[in-house]
Amino acid sequence: MNRFSIICLAASLAAAACSQDKLVEEGYGYLRAGVHADDNISDVIVPDLRSGDGGAPVFSLTVYDWSGEVAASVADCNDLQTEPLKLHAGTYTAHVFSADAGPAVFGTPFYAGSRDFTIESGKEANVGITASIANTRVTVEYSDVVKEKFESYVFTVTNGLGELTYSAAEGTESAEGYFSVTGTLSWTLSLVNSDGTPYKDITGTVADVEGGQHYRFSWDLDTEADCGAGAVTVILDDGTNDREFTIVLDPEDNTIPEISTGFEIPESGPVQVEIESQMSTLVLDVSSEDGFSNLVLTYPDPASLQQTEVDLCGAPEETVAALSETGIMTRAVTAEDTGCSIDLNSFVPFLPIGTYEIGVFAVDRGGSYLRRAVSFEVISDKEAEIVSAAPWAMFAEVKAKWFALTPPAGLGFQYRKVSDADWTDFTGPVSMDTEKRTYTASIRTLEPGTEYLVRAVSAEDKETKELAFTTEKAETIPNMSFDAWYQDGGAWYPNSGTDNFWWDTANGGTKTLSIYPTTPAEEEYIYAKGEGKNAAKLQSKEAALVGLAAGNIYTGKFVEAVISLSNPGARLDWGVPFSSRPLALKGFYHYLPKAVNKGSYNDMSGKPDIGQIQIMLTDWASPFRVDTAAGQFVNPQTDTGIIAYGAIDLNETEGYEPFTVDLEYRDLSRTPKYIVIVAAASKYGDYFTGGVGSTLYLDEFSFVYNPDELSE
């Protein structure tokens, strides 16, 4: 056996640059190295790989300390013979490498090795490191029969990083190739018959490839196989597994596959196709009397526009489905098929403006083949086109696409009311998606409930398709300023009267106890003062049986009290009709919490009370029946009827402060039917937990429909 070993030798103390006393004092030791030839690769005898003058490869040495940091390095280990490494006492790892010729190279292997060693103070290490071949070696040989039967035989191997071609024409037919280890080797054998006819390439992949292995590809012909007239079996022996590939050569078969088109191909130049045109003639029909052994379609991938190929022979359903998604309509080809149709009508016209090539490589079962490539030029008299408009009340999210490979100059939008004659140029930011060739924008300051037109434009193209849309209504609900109140039997209600009932409170359930948690605010606690102005005062109060009646207000209606000594409660309907989509709820609040002294839900006992405001848009079939006695509450996290939701918790303030509750939309395709706004002086009042006397003042609620207001 021959392999390279690097022996790190002890140097004499006399040769050291300083005395032993000095070494001990400073805690140093020394390291030398020598190189010896010793080579082995998977039990295969190989020739001497040293240079022609008998010299060994140059090895570099890198020393790492215990933490993985580089402690020292030497470009040529031979230098250590005269200049040994001086190292602090400690534990190290030495790595040695020969010069790396690249991921794939003829004739020059790559060696590597490592070993741990220790330097002691005042002493010198004696360490040996074996550097073994780290590459995979590949050779190829052909029998005399192969050389006689074929005019050309070229073998190509790749590890995914580099590629080597074993070819007599290049003088590398019998060369030794070395590949860095990536785990696989893929190979291709290209054959040309003695009459100059090329055959379809034979390909394969070797898995689980490791360093130090030798793959010997030995090719021979077996003319005794009973595979038909002139049959030839090509056998690969890679030293581990036998793989057979059959090529049937029938001298009496002069047929070749045929390819016809449903469209005319010009004598010069590509086939021109109008972008997004409705066509029915872009069809390739492929036929073969002998059937197909391969039917390879090459086409530009719509996402990357990189050429992609797929073999339709025996193609799985997933492959055909993936082609269908791109617009290529075809089917898998079986051994019995003599024809196949490839429909490109929904594919080519939807490529971006540009020139593309679509190819077919058909190989029949007799080994004859035909290649045909057709160039298509996708053209258009427009540069961009509007795709969609998603209107809200005061803005619309619009999307357009461009047709060229790169964005044309000046891409943007124009819009106008249907009732106006002049277009308005959109001047806001535009977002580009170069992969999908689309761009989007948010057109602001639109009027609610208004018909608009929008179109895509570029610097050179303004006469494009128009898209109509109508902005949504910007609904509100009565008495969001909490100015209107009326009284019935001592209980206050935040509405103008019984015939205009939108808001309700817990007063209906507690009036039998003469307790009214929700009332109009005192004059000094009104935020927006003036004649006829008012605010809401929500105060949690002590109540018999249940312990606490939380001050609250909500859109909906109180239904009835549940009278029970063991499990009292109330039933109320949450939600009033509403079909708009605001972005947020805003207003003003002043909160004066007390320590929680009633109930212990969520471990709140003794802690400062918390106020809360919630808003939700739903498409329930009817208002939600809350039943506190039965524990029936809305769960904002799991209720599928909730389209949008937002909530904020409130803490103590010194006076009125503004608030904004953003609505998070969970579904942009559904239209609301109800809106629920709930505010409480005690967040956990539903569970009769809170602080007696916690007071929340609310005033001047309103909806936000203009997204620019959200940043105010």
List alpha helices for 158-248, DSSP H.
none
* pLDDT tens, position by position, 274-326: 888 888 899 999 999 888 888 999 999 988 889 999 999 999 999 999 999 99
331-335 long-range contacts (CB < 8 A, ≥24 apart) are 333/292, 333/295, 335/291, 335/292, 335/365
* pLDDT tens, position by position, 218-262: 777 655 544 333 444 455 554 444 444 444 444 455 677 899 998
3-state secondary structure of 603: helix
547 is written with which tokens?
Answer: 């312990």
Count of alpha carbons within 13 angstroms of residue 223, beta-carbon side: 6
Q: Label residue 367 by pLDDT band (50, 70, 90).
A: low
Q: Label residue 97 by pLDDT band (50, 70, 90).
A: confident
Among 47, 42, 38, 48, which Cα is nearest to 214's? 42
* pLDDT tens, position by position, 129-186: 777 778 888 888 888 878 887 888 999 999 888 899 999 999 999 999 998 888 888 8
Q: Give the end-to-end CA distance of the chain in Å, rounded to a whole number.
A: 81
DSSP string, 112-180: EEEEEEEE-TT-B--EEEEEEE-SEEEEEEE-HHHHHHEEEEEEEEE-SS-EEEE-TTTT-TTPPEEE-
> Is the predicted pLDDT of residue 189 greater than 90, yes or no?
no
Class of domain 384-470: mainly beta
Class of domain 260-379: mainly beta
Who wins on pLDDT, 485 or 23?
A: 485
What is each CA distance from 62 to 44, 104, 161, 497, in whole angstroms?
A: 30, 24, 25, 89
Q: Label residue 23 by pLDDT band (50, 70, 90).
A: very low
Across all residues in the chain, what is the average pLDDT?
83
Instruction: Tell me if 700 sits within 8 A of 527, measured CB to CB.
Output: yes
* pLDDT tens, position by position, 691-701: 999 999 999 99
Give the whole-angstrom CA distance, residue 4 versus residue 38: 4
- Residue 711's pLDDT is 64
- Residue 559's pLDDT is 87
- Angle at alpha carbon of residue 261, lines to 255 and 265, rounded to 5°: 110
374 is written with which tokens?
Answer: 């057709």
Who wins on pLDDT, 184 or 412?
A: 412
Instruction: Tell me if 570 sits within 8 A of 560, measured CB to CB.
Output: yes
Who wins on pLDDT, 26 or 78?
A: 78
460: exposed, middle or buried (Cβ count in 10 Å: 0-12, 13-18, 19+): exposed
> Is the predicted pLDDT of residue 651 greater than 70, yes or no?
yes
* pLDDT tens, position by position, 654-665: 999 999 999 999
Give the whole-angstrom CA distance, residue 74 versus residue 55: 19
What is each CA distance from 430 to 411, 426, 434, 452, in whole angstroms?
A: 8, 9, 12, 19
Instruction: Tell me if 381 sits within 8 A of 278, measured CB to CB.
Output: no
> Is the predicted pLDDT of residue 467 greater than 80, yes or no?
yes
Who wins on pLDDT, 6 or 675?
A: 675
89 is written with which tokens?
Answer: 């006492």
> Is the predicted pLDDT of residue 334 greater than 50, yes or no?
yes
What is each CA distance from 541 to 236, 306, 547, 689, in whole angstroms?
A: 91, 72, 8, 11
Q: Label residue 123 by pLDDT band (50, 70, 90).
A: confident
Class of domain 486-711: mainly beta
> Is the predicted pLDDT of residue 683 greater than 90, yes or no?
yes
Q: Label residue 122 by pLDDT band (50, 70, 90).
A: confident
* CATH of region 136-248, choose from 1.20.120, 2.60.40, 2.40.160, 2.30.30: 2.60.40
Instruction: Tell me if 35 sits within 8 A of 131, measured CB to CB.
Output: no
